[in-house]
A and B are shown apart, each in its own frame.
Chain A
Amino acid sequence: MTKTTVTRRGVLRTGAAAGAGLALPTIFTASSASAYMNEPTGATVTLGFNVPQSGPYADEGADELRAYQLAVEHLNGEGDGGMLNTFSSKALQGNGILDKKVQFVTGDTQTKSDAARASAKSMIEKDGAIMITGGSSSGVAVAVQGLCQEAGVIFMAGLTHSNDTTGKDKKANGFRHFFNAYMSGAALAPVLAAQYGKDRKAYHLTADYTWGWTQEESIKAATEALGWETVNTVKTPLAATDFSSYIAPVLNSGADVLILNHYGGNMVNSLTNAVQFGLRDKMVNGKRFEIVVPLYSRLMAKGAGENVKGILGSTNWHWSLQDEASKTFVKSFGTKYGFPPSQAAHTCYCQTLLYADAVQRAGSFNPCAVEEALTGGDSSLPGISSEANKGFLFDGLGNGQTLYRGADHQCFKDVLVVRGKENPTSEFDLLEVVQVTPAAQVWYEPDHPMFAGGSLGECNPGA
């Protein structure tokens, strides 16, 4: 289903129209002139960076934006080239994408699906963006992914951790580099069992919306498989700012582990409250009481301050990784901005490079060609025998060997299990990597029940 031969008819006609100037207005519809939505016709190509700039995730959004700007610099051959130097695919030359200079527009998702779609639409309709990327929550990712599918542009998801993004809400035009709730559970559970023992009773506090539920489901399944017992699962309202009434009953419940399926502000507050209530100083069932935060982010960990010390969780990537690619990226980002990048920044940078590389290899911006280049390959991750182990395999972007799987457009790579550092040397040095869980261990089949329902559908070039 390769569609790399793109007609240049549209280019000619638009060029002619522009050339005719004011003399004769030419009327045409987008669909009849271009082979696909927003086909770039000039010397530049426009990417749309849609990140939260207001609301609680604004700082994360700002970091994503920094990464995007860095990626654009590197694609256009400015700066030190960053991970272009370490990326296993060498298609990109530092002269833009397909010889077109990369430009970008930015927008504010406000972490609301409506606002995110509005801003993505404006990039597509007004600015002619050929690809939309970014975001800091799964609701937004799913909503914008749906939009991009309808509109016929590519969506490279930013930070989105819900199983649904590449599960029941997966779309042919959408791609996720970030890991997901299932992977967090699969990576974290063995470490938890090793550190805290197999005879544990867990109490879940879960943010009462889609992401929270998939997170709870995943971690619950993974820990129960290792022998843990789940004492209780409690849903907390998204708008909750104080968790005292949810934390207070935990000590008397007979549980000896508290799992906080919270993210962002919810996580900061629930963790702060839990430590306040002295949970971590207590002995229950003859064991030390423990707290687990399945999805960590360094930016948020900073908000939780001292409270994160010694607490286990998982993360997509961390700047202290010592592989060549990570070191290159940290150096490049750190030199430009003065502090190390967050995992959101890393994912967004990678997504931009991956998209550019796919276009370059496909020789076209046509979304269908890009999809083919990004996931249509036959290479596979070593050590996993599965029908579905097929897609685009790459390395050198910081997570080791990574597979963009064709079946659901999800990346498979090593997952980091991290712990809040006891003696940080700087304000960035908050997490330490406990274990790098190999991709094989977090592998699942595309028809896994947690990801069932929904289908990719056909790629949509929008014309």
Chain B
Amino acid sequence: MDAFLLQILNGLDKGSAYALIALGLTLIFGTLGVVNFAHGALFMIGAFCAVTLERLLTLSFETIDPTKTDFLGNPLKVKTPYVESWFGPETGAAIIDWSVPLALIFAIPVMLAIGYAMERGLIKHFYKRPHADQILVTFGLAIVLQEVVKYFFGANPIQTPPPEALRGSVDLGQMIGFQANAIIYPIWRLIYFFFAVAVIGGVFAFLQFTTFGMVVRAGMADRETVGLLGINIDRRFTIMFGIAAAVAGLAGVMYGPLNPPNYHMGMDFLVLSFVVVVVGGMGSLPGAVLAGFLLGILESFASTTWATTTLPGINQIIIYLVAIIILLTRPRGLMGRKGVMED
């Protein structure tokens, strides 16, 4: 039972990342009809927003500590971040400690701007082009973005730890009456899950309850008609692209503390998130979210010892296996609309 709950939690957690990325992909696909292979790169850039902010906050001046030596035997240069000298060591250290949550604020405008620039500068010209061309150009863009990040930050993963107070784990099992150590779960992973739920809820509420959202939804269903009503739908779609980029970016910022970001993390997620989107059904936002969580949970259960001893290798193929089964039994994925991307 406790093992079961633990894997549910893990699944929800994995699913959160899948769902957030798939949600953004579907938004872009549903509104603009563009297959965005650079979406994984946006997720990666989000994570590197946190890295960048941390680097900015720890910009330091050097003082020489003659009592110690560096690896070459010279006197050691000690680095003190400017924030620590400006706000005092304690406040300064606290600001640096909280750089990941702060990066959320930092990332929103950055990602919106990147999304906006991407749509206006590049994607706009590809609406009428075949999907194959969209794939090629966004894939090229993904490579470029990733290589630029690699150029500045290197190929190794870079730690973006959560604030001291939010590190470690809580014993959830004990809270609900299991014995100690039965269900221990990291605090940040719980935060990540609730964050994902909040963002997904926010996007849905935005689309459901605002006039802007209503127009966008109408446009997703029938672009021409909405255009005929004299509404500048393109402009709104551009903004939606920015929002989708921001969702991916925020997902990236929050993901950093779970697994240290590296420049190719976007590619690692890219294929998986496409599988999630398609299993959910092209163009369906609830489908994308549902499929994200479903695949996350299935993946978690497939990696239990029980599963891997029963069927060796099942943990490596589960997602693809489930995708095949779902697509063969439900032709348009879980909640797909008819006629979207079928030709």
A335 with B72, Cβ < 8 A, contacts A241-B268, A244-B14, A299-B156 known: yes
In the complex, whether A434 has a CB less than 8 A from a CB of chain B is no
CA–CA, A330 and B2, complex, Å: 51
CA–CA, A339 and B70, complex, Å: 10
B-contacting 9-mer, from A162-170, A247-255, A359-367, A449-457: A247-255
Interface 1/0 per residue, A280-306 and B, CB below 8 Å: 011010000000000000011011111
Per a CB cutoff under 8 Å, which of A56, A245, A307, A331 touches B10? A245
Per a CB cutoff under 8 Å, which of A277, A282, A305, A426 touches B185? A277
Per a CB cutoff under 8 Å, which of B155, B184, B265, B308 touches A59? B155
Interface 1/0 per residue, B295-323 and A, CB below 8 Å: 00001100111001000000110000000
Per a CB cutoff under 8 Å, which of A245, A246, A272 touches B259? A272
Is the pair B303, A276 in contact by a Cβ cutoff of 8 Å? no
B-contacting 9-mer, from A13-21, A77-85, A126-134, A230-238: A230-238
A300 with B156, Cβ < 8 A, contacts A234-B308, A277-B169 known: yes
Is the pair B303, A246 in contact by a Cβ cutoff of 8 Å? yes
Q: How many residues of B contact A (CB 8 A)?
A: 50
The residues in B between 135 and 178 inclusive whose CB is less than 8 angstroms from any CB of A are 150, 154-159, 161, 167-169
In the complex, whether A199 has a CB less than 8 A from a CB of chain B is no
Per a CB cutoff under 8 Å, which of B7, B150, B299 touches A248? B7
Interface 1/0 per residue, B1-30 and A, CB below 8 Å: 011001101110110010000000000000
Is the pair A268, B260 in contact by a Cβ cutoff of 8 Å? yes
Residue of A nearest to B65 (CB): A425
Is the pair A426, B304 in contact by a Cβ cutoff of 8 Å? no
Residue of B nearest to A253 (CB): B305
Inside 8 A of B168's CB, which chain A residues have their CB? Answer: 276, 278, 281
Interface 1/0 per residue, A142-155 and B, CB below 8 Å: 00000000000000
CA–CA, A59 and B152, complex, Å: 12
In the complex, whether B31 has a CB less than 8 A from a CB of chain A is no
Q: How many residues of A contact B (CB 8 A)?
A: 54
Is the pair B68, A425 in contact by a Cβ cutoff of 8 Å? yes
Residue of B nearest to A341 (CB): B71
Inside 8 A of A273's CB, which chain B residues have their CB? Answer: 258-259
CA–CA, A225 and B10, complex, Å: 35
Inside 8 A of B169's CB, which chain A residues have their CB? Answer: 276-278
Is the pair A265, B157 in contact by a Cβ cutoff of 8 Å? yes
Inside 8 A of A232's CB, which chain B residues have their CB? Answer: 305
In the complex, whether B197 has a CB less than 8 A from a CB of chain A is no
In the complex, whether A323 has a CB less than 8 A from a CB of chain B is no
CA–CA, A425 and B70, complex, Å: 8
Residue of A nearest to B74 (CB): A334
Inside 8 A of A334's CB, which chain B residues have their CB? Answer: 71-72
Inside 8 A of A278's CB, which chain B residues have their CB? Answer: 168-169, 184, 186
Inside 8 A of A282's CB, which chain B residues have their CB? Answer: 181, 184
CA–CA, A241 and B259, complex, Å: 8
Per a CB cutoff under 8 Å, which of A60, A241, A245 touches B300? A245
In the complex, whether B76 has a CB less than 8 A from a CB of chain A is yes
In the complex, whether B332 has a CB less than 8 A from a CB of chain A is no
CA–CA, A340 and B72, complex, Å: 8
In the complex, whether B264 has a CB less than 8 A from a CB of chain A is yes
Is the pair B7, A276 in contact by a Cβ cutoff of 8 Å? no
Inside 8 A of B269's CB, which chain A residues have their CB? Answer: 241
Is the pair B155, A244 in contact by a Cβ cutoff of 8 Å? no
Inside 8 A of B39's CB, which chain A residues have their CB? Answer: none
Is the pair B14, A303 in contact by a Cβ cutoff of 8 Å? no
Q: Shortest distance in angstroms between B231's beta carbon and chain A's nearest beta carbon?
A: 42
Given contacts A248-B184, A276-B186, A303-B262, 12 further A-B contacts (CB under 8 A): A239-B268, A241-B259, A245-B11, A248-B10, A252-B182, A272-B260, A277-B186, A306-B161, A331-B73, A334-B71, A334-B72, A425-B76
Q: Can you list 6 A-B contacts with CB-CB less than 8 angstroms, sorted by A residue number?
A: A244-B10, A276-B186, A278-B184, A302-B156, A303-B157, A334-B72
Give me the 7 closest cross-chain CB pairs, A-B, nearest first.
A305-B159, A58-B155, A278-B169, A303-B157, A276-B186, A245-B300, A245-B303
Binding site for B on A (CB under 8 A): 55-60, 62, 208, 232, 234-237, 239, 241-242, 244-246, 248-249, 251-252, 265, 268-269, 272-273, 276-278, 281-282, 284, 299-300, 302-307, 319-320, 330-331, 334-335, 339-340, 425-426, 428-429
